[in-house]
Amino acid sequence: MLIYHFGSKQGLLAAVVGEVERRQREVVAEYHRDADISPIDLARRLWKQVADPAMWPQERLFFELYAQALRQRDHTGDFLNQVLEPWFELLTEIHRASGQPLAAARTQARLGVAVVRGLLLDLLATGDRRAVDRAMALFLDWYGEHLERGR
């Protein structure tokens, strides 16, 4: 049945990662529905969620599949688009709602995804939670100032 539905074990793993990503986007969208939460506070909540050690096994699998997709392995199909574009769309919408023009919002969405994933990869590679959390805090402080100036 698994091969019928997913094509392979790797296809099943890609589907699992896709579902985890979808659920994380749902959480972010739910945070966004709270009119009192700023994009920076939303990012802090997301970071707390993804940096939780309980998520690390799933995130290691995510990065493994990401690397396989970059190498264009057959079982990854449209994986990169599925784990990038929906985040870009959601975060662009969030930045637009905070008053950013479309082009800037799209760029800010891309930057946010890149920084979160880059620092998450650093965290998984080094295990240095304190240093990575400091780097995220520094980025969010800078980012918050940038967003305020852009309004």
Per the structure block, which two tokens stand in for 96?
A: 């637009």
Closest CA to 9 of 67, 65, 66: 65
The predicted pLDDT at position 150 comes to 59
CATH number, domain with residue 108: 1.10.357.10
81-128 pLDDT, tens per residue?
889 999 999 999 988 988 889 999 999 999 999 999 999 999 999 999
User: pTM here?
Assistant: 0.87
| Beta-carbon count within 10 A of 70 CB | 11
Domain that holds residue 90: 2-150
In 3-state terms the chain splits into helix, strand, coil percentages (rounded to 5) of: 85, 0, 15
Number of domains in the chain: 1
Q: Of 24-28, 63-67, 71-75, 138-142, where does mean pLDDT reach its minimum?
A: 71-75
